Structure 1
């Protein structure tokens, strides 16, 4: 048992039983996401107005489908699915490759496959398949040397590259974060994780303040030096790795991102520089949220929302509609529900029977948490527009179904951990 997980498990056994014994159909892990889907359904109705063209009904129906799908999955022990994880992972990679040949392009990004009756977004499924596969790899070894990192990173790097060049910056960031959290959960030294995550800072410094790299990269080397037994070799590898990241940063910036994505990353610091272009989303989103005040204008009554001042508000900017129509109180309630859901997932990870199950749930929790934080920050102007959806609330059938499948896995793990303890 991993030390980091086992310590949490010991604490988990002291927790009181909750109402899961009354019936998993009404488990908070299922009810909270369904409630969020219903709230967002009304917000989508308000955004799009006309019943005949609105996606709100499709969103709610997909949510109920996901609800019962998650309940059904909860009866399947994850150990039975282990042998299907690797084939599922490779099928996901194939679907990501097909995007480049048969993908549908929307707003400059080629992310969808047309399956006839509906479109399908492989990058959403890739998040779940990466969690399952990375958990399978980390379950078999504890990360003690640099060599032990090769296979776990390879599992994530391949889908990351395929997703980044679609381009889909948001999902590629999600993969980085869930990898870091899962490596930490598997007892990898925190210094190693920081060295990997700090690649983002290295890239930002190279593009903005390159002279600071003279001090930054040696600091990375020192971090590696103090955290490894082979100090000189580890320090040299860390420095070389970050120099390589700096070298490839302009290439990724030039060829990996579209012009509108570059504008989004730069303009969030000062959206007024281009109020009718790249900064338009951020400015209108902040106006909508601010106009909601304490209690909001009322459900279906938001003026900016009804008049569609914010493009694609039913997807990435659904939180701005929430802020305008339900106000500060509504936002706090929704954020509390998200916090409650993440807390339940983390608790489930701490009482899971096996390392494999614990890693899966913590991977799912980190995926949800990062998307929630970035999406909310994006809509209130504290972060760039990255195209990361708000789980269970942003419109997107592939994302919604995949999220409920993830909940089904977590519920399955929770159910078996409860039955073992009872």
Structure 2
């Protein structure tokens, strides 16, 4: 073995030491789980296309290869270098969202894509990551210590949220709300303020489903506001105004703020048999496909419901149903456990980050991934409405895959910096 010694006898370099250091720099959970899921997903996507007159399943692996290259580059650099570029990145994504409204490509009733060199790019996917980065920088520099401090993070999230919502893309717009709430809480904002931020949504749901519940909910929000906010009388007046407006405007928003198919999706998951050949078809076929897999599944590329294409958009939003049919209950449990391990590791990285900015970015990435996982799986097993949210690393989608790997590379950079700091 070659080694180098200085005049004092101290080892200068060691190939075995370099290998150990490189192995230590690899994060087996952050790398291994996504890559394993991508490998399986390629086969599942191929299975969904067996009876189709096209085959692009291999592009899932090609896009993943590009994403891995980007992640490797980002993992080797300090994320702090990105800080001067955050506002231009955010501005570029907002401009791209505006461009979608003017020159975007329409498919399945929504205008969400821009065609660049024959490749469809979905700007809303990149907008999620841009919002995470700028929101982390804002909360790092201006933590929420007074109610007025909420204006900055609300402004950062509101613009891309609105542009995505009107595409219309209800599913992706929900991700922005989850990002805002989680990152605010991680930055140290009082939990009571988080409840008050969520309260208009709860009020709207109660007004539409259980109006009698408002008699207890609205007084509770007033108590929370009185105990946690300054300027007690002003706070009570504002909270009362917001709660009243949320309760009164909900019927109008239900009729005019949502498309017909969006209203169907939000209602039919409670009983998809009311429209088994229309709005409830996806949910019914998805649950049948997952249930038919049993304990061990039919085997990869062997699912009959998948082969006969009973489930529309199965290679994208409903890939979990193909997973359930072909790998069974065991396969779905392994995927869920894999995502839980990924979340646990991201929380570790966020907790050990060397700066608040890096910690907030990692927690934003964790929220983006796990929110999509929960909503997508709940959707495919019939516990939630169909919202059009892909399953990270498993659903086919170039823009989503690239964004997920960019986010992964940023988290790997934070993990690497924190390990180097511990070693020193």
TM-score, normalisation: structure 2: 0.92
* Distance in 2 (alpha carbons) for counterparts of 1:232 and 1:302: 62
**In the TM superposition, what whole-angstrom CA distance separates every residue of 1:159-212 from its partner, at most 9, and x where no partner exists?**
111111111111111110111010000110111111112322222222233353
Shift of 1:269: 0.3
Partner residue, 1:181: 182
* Distance in 1 (alpha carbons) for counterparts of 2:236 and 2:39: 51
Shift of 1:230: 2.9
**In the TM superposition, what whole-angstrom CA distance separates every residue of 1:260-280 from its partner, at most 9, and x where no partner exists?**
111010000000000000000
Shift of 1:48: 0.7
Shift of 1:214: 4.0
Contact 1:374/1:388 (8 A) holds in 2: yes
Gaps of 5+ in 1: 1-18
Partner residue, 2:8: none
Partner residue, 1:126: 127
* Distance in 1 (alpha carbons) for counterparts of 2:68 and 2:52: 24
Q: Does 1:300 pair with 2:274?
A: no
Note the 1:361-380 alignment, pairs <5 A. Answer: 361-380=362-381
User: 47-56 or 218-227, which moves further after superposition?
Assistant: 47-56
* Distance in 1 (alpha carbons) for counterparts of 2:135 and 2:196: 19
Give secondary structure in 2 for the equivalent of 1:105.
strand
Q: CA RMSD, aligned part only?
A: 1.6
Note the 1:87-98 alignment, pairs <5 A. Answer: 87-98=88-99
Note the 1:212-361 alignment, pairs <5 A. Answer: 212-361=213-362
* Distance in 2 (alpha carbons) for counterparts of 1:238 and 1:166: 30
User: 112-121 or 379-388, which moves further after superposition?
Assistant: 112-121
Contact 1:221/1:236 (8 A) holds in 2: no
Q: Does 1:201 pair with 2:199?
A: no
Partner residue, 1:420: 421
Shift of 1:224: 1.3
Contact 2:51/2:309 (8 A) holds in 1: no
* Distance in 2 (alpha carbons) for counterparts of 1:195 and 1:284: 39
**CA gap 1:209/1:51 in 2 versus in 1, 3 angstroms:** closer
Partner residue, 1:387: 388
Shift of 1:35: 1.1
* Distance in 2 (alpha carbons) for counterparts of 1:256 and 1:389: 23
* Distance in 1 (alpha carbons) for counterparts of 2:22 and 2:252: 54
Give secondary structure in 2 for the equivalent of 1:113.
strand
* Distance in 2 (alpha carbons) for counterparts of 1:343 and 1:70: 20
Contact 1:34/1:64 (8 A) holds in 2: no
Shift of 1:69: 1.2
Shift of 1:52: 7.0
Give secondary structure in 1 for the equivalent of 2:86.
helix
Partner residue, 1:110: 111
Contact 2:206/2:213 (8 A) holds in 1: yes
Partner residue, 1:171: 172
Gaps of 5+ in 2: 1-19
Q: Does 1:141 pair with 2:157?
A: no
Partner residue, 1:13: none
Give secondary structure in 2 for the equivalent of 1:198.
helix
Contact 1:164/1:256 (8 A) holds in 2: no
**CA gap 1:363/1:41 in 2 versus in 1, 3 angstroms:** same
* Distance in 1 (alpha carbons) for counterparts of 2:195 and 2:46: 43
TM-score, normalisation: structure 1: 0.92
Shift of 1:281: 0.5
Corresponding pairs, count: 404
